[in-house]
Amino acid sequence: MKTVRHLAITLFIVPLIVFFGCSKPNQDVSAAGSIENSIYKNSYFGMEITFPNSWHILDPRMVRALEQYGAGAVAGSNREDIEKIKHAISKVENLVMATMYPISGEGYYNPAFTCTALSLNVARNISSAKDYLLLVRNRPAPAKFAYSYPSELRESRIDGVLFYVLSRNIKYSGFDIRQEIYAAVVKNYLLSFILTSETNQQHAAFLQVLGKVRFR
């Protein structure tokens, strides 16, 4: 059986492995976040994300544990690569992750909506959201992955904030997955929304969530 856990987390961490060499951020902006009634709020960014009540918002400890699992899935049996990927993703603040279905299910793909933040003070190889997405696009696909890019980077505004958007298709483990990464610089942080879906209906649900994101 193809596990939901394997796919949801593996595809989430793929965009984060460009952060090799970053040092640890000085401030834990994830601590400024809270969740109540399926609404995620972060006082540092003045951000609010409203998720459907039926979605599953993951506990931060579960996300960290699954990140470690995903590092092994991406790197395979190469222990050095596993440690490099773990080091890279440890520098990124995972603000919130929500999946459409329970994380323990099997046999189907579980769409995931993730919001992350990285301080530009510690990301020495990144100076803008556009730079980050170009790094993601230019980085070779890990083993067993195949990428294709249906379009160039584009711009999109979310509640007035300018985001750059990278769209790509990922073939992995027998699935054809659509991934979109929205990135913007907010308060000297690289703020990203990472959306991974399998169907147009799932992607449309993500866009509805993005349409309700508010910055205050």
Domain CATH number, residue 162: 3.40.1000.10
| Mean pLDDT (the chain, rounded) | 79
Q: Measure Cα distances from 146 to 6, 141, 174 in Å.
A: 17, 6, 11
Q: Are strands 47-50 and 214-215 parallel, antiparallel or unpaired?
A: antiparallel
Using a cut of 0.75, tell me whether the model's pTM lies above it.
yes
Domain count, the chain: 1
Q: Cα–Cα distance between 6 and 96 in angstroms, integer?
A: 18
Low-confidence ranges of the chain (pLDDT < 50): 1-10, 13-14, 17-21, 23
Q: Cα–Cα distance between 164 and 39 in angstroms, integer?
A: 24
Q: What percent of the chain has pLDDT over 70?
A: 70
Structural domain range at position 13: 4-215
List for the chain the helix, strand, coil content (%; round to 5).
Answer: 30, 35, 35
